[in-house]
Amino acid sequence: MESRFPHPYFSSHPQWRWFILITVLIGASMSALDVSIVNVALPTLQGDFKVNMAVIEWVAMAYMLTLTIFLPLFGRLADIFGRTKMYNTGFVVFTVGSALCGLASSAGFLIGARILQAIGAGLLQANSVAIITAAFPSSERGRAIGIQGAVQAVAMSIGPFVGGILISAVSWRAIFYVNVPIGIIGTFAALYCLPAAERSDKAREKIDYLGTAFFATGLAFLVLAVNEGETIGWTAPIILTYFALAAVLLTAFLITEMRVAHPMIDLTLFKRYAFWAGNLTGLLSYYVLFAVLFLMPFYLEKIAGYNPVVTGSILTPIPLAMAVVAPFAGHISDKYGSRLMTMWGMAVCALATLLLIFTGRSPNMLILIAELVILGIGMGLFTPPNNSAIMGSVPRERLGVAGGILNMMRALGLIFGVDISGVIFTSIEHGYIIQHGYKVTLFKDLPVALRKEAFLHGFAPVMITLLVINVIAGLLSAAKKDQEHKGPIEHGEPIDLM
């Protein structure tokens, strides 16, 4: 879909970049909201469709898996065919997918519609940071990316709350239908605010279908192995097969990329320290964030004794703190560089996880909330400058694939943070229970005191691992140099989104 903005003067006017940002924010908020809003509906969906939990979990899993494995491809397609075109298409596909989700008559139909919805979300996410990078000069890019991060954080934080209200007041179908009017508004905003695509020489490049197939299937098997390993068993034949297939396919992908003329992912990008270190630290930061978001509800309910409503309220300050801090962090990084902000961001996150190690049976809620706020502040300080540094390190003709890789790494951080932390926690907790002469299979019959002690014995080591990860990410950030790739758009130049 091509942009229909009536006159090129407006799209090249320096102030028009803020309308471009607003358009990107619509897509960012819509896709972020849908990541969290559906989780609250899973029990209701299981009851309505009368299927077991293993089936209904795929309503969430199919979305995350599709989104993760295709992000680099969507970024590459945007570099070839135009970021504006791909972004506009993303709005349409996401809106249609959302409507089909609301119309679903079976669990299988809903899962299929979620895959379509994830394709639309992938087209939006892979191009959002690239569009901002192309539209804003380097002196304002961090601030713009910070605003985007703030909007995404707020959308994710209110997702469960909004979902609960819609399910209670209307039905579970409303959580999908709510995307339709937003998607329609976003589609028209993209058509009229994003500059028309210009003809690119990249359109003559061939798509690396073989490399794409190797990468998508290899990454899919890796994600499935990590996600299902704890449930099925890490030594189960199917899990070992998943890991083996992932290793073979991803190796085949690397070999293919080094041989083809037009690879899906330009591996030379990883020669730039700012690019590979920024993506790695981005993965590590999301690992930490979502490991905390995964474990804290169990702590607050099982140890502190709070109900789900209070638990949700206590966790809300994390994304809210991110939302408040992110724009300022981006603005400061525009003036003084990303290195200082990313380093301090990880240092603040390290402080938060250090404090969480000592959380005991009877926490002071004000202190605990303050610790969670500190984590949110650290993430807000780190994320926008880090994203800005990544996008500033690549040539403009590779902005799409760079944005796809950036978002893919964050998604992998989310998945690994939840799954690996879950494995560490469960193995230590169960080991403590067995050490005291009880069987894990009789967990509900254990003495309350033992259950709490077992939980805390598993909780503290996970926080220690997160502290170590924060320190590693901080050291990697400290080693970065504030370098800008030659040739980014400067203030006042015509905006070209290809």
For residue range 227-245, list pLDDT tens digits in order: 787 778 788 889 999 999 9
Q: Write down the domain spans for the chain.
A: 11-195, 208-263, 267-482
What does the radius of gyration of the chain's CA atoms come to, in whole angstroms? Answer: 22
Angle subtended at Cα 293 by Cα 148 and Cα 144, rounded to the nearest 5 degrees: 10
Nearest by Cα to 290 from 325, 331, 322: 322
CATH fit for domain 267-482, picks 1.10.260.40, 1.20.1250.20, 3.40.50.300, 3.40.50.720: 1.20.1250.20
Q: What is the DSSP string of 129-145?
A: HHHHHHHS-HHHHHHHH
Tokens, residue 289: 């964030």
Q: Tens place of pLDDT for every residue, the chain, 498 residues? A: 544 544 444 445 556 777 888 888 888 788 777 776 777 777 788 778 887 766 777 887 888 888 888 888 888 888 788 877 888 888 899 999 999 999 988 888 999 999 999 999 888 887 887 788 777 777 777 778 778 777 777 777 777 777 778 887 888 888 889 888 988 888 888 877 776 655 455 556 677 888 888 988 998 899 888 878 777 878 888 999 999 999 999 999 999 988 887 788 888 888 888 888 999 999 999 999 988 888 888 888 778 777 766 777 787 888 888 888 888 888 888 788 788 889 999 999 999 999 999 887 777 888 989 999 999 999 989 988 888 888 888 887 777 788 888 888 888 888 888 888 888 888 888 888 888 777 766 556 677 788 788 888 888 999 999 999 999 999 999 887 755 544 443 433 333 444
Report the pLDDT value the prediction gives residue 482, as an integer from 0 to 100: 56
- Assigned architecture for domain 11-195: Up-down Bundle (1.20)
CA separation for the pair 218, 95 (Å, rounded): 29
Tokens, residue 321: 């703190």
Report the pLDDT value the prediction gives residue 132, as an integer from 0 to 100: 82
For residue range 165-202, list pLDDT tens digits in order: 888 788 888 888 988 898 888 888 887 777 665 545 55
Domains 11-195 and 267-482 share a fold: yes
Residue 102 CB contacts under 8 Å (≥ 6 apart), including other chains:
173, 174, 176, 177, 180
Helix (H, G, I), strand (E, B) or coil at 28: helix
CA separation for the pair 423, 403 (Å, rounded): 30
Nearest by Cα to 388 from 71, 141, 70: 141
pTM (2 d.p.) = 0.81
For residue range 451-473, list pLDDT tens digits in order: 788 888 888 999 999 999 999 99
Q: What is the DSSP string of 274-330?
A: HHHHHHHHHHHHHHHHHHHHHHHHHIIIIIS---HHHHHHHHTHHHHHHHHHHHHHH
CA separation for the pair 138, 338 (Å, rounded): 11
Specify the amino acid at residue 431: G
CA separation for the pair 230, 227 (Å, rounded): 7
Report the pLDDT value the prediction gives residue 374, as an integer from 0 to 100: 95
CA separation for the pair 194, 149 (Å, rounded): 20
57-61 contacts, C-beta under 8 A, 24 or more apart: 58/107, 58/111, 59/107, 59/110, 59/111, 59/114, 61/227
Q: What distances in angstroms separate CA 404 from CA 75, 118, 400, one per listed residue? A: 5, 14, 6
To 10 degrees, the CA torsion angle through 14, 15, 21, 22?
-160
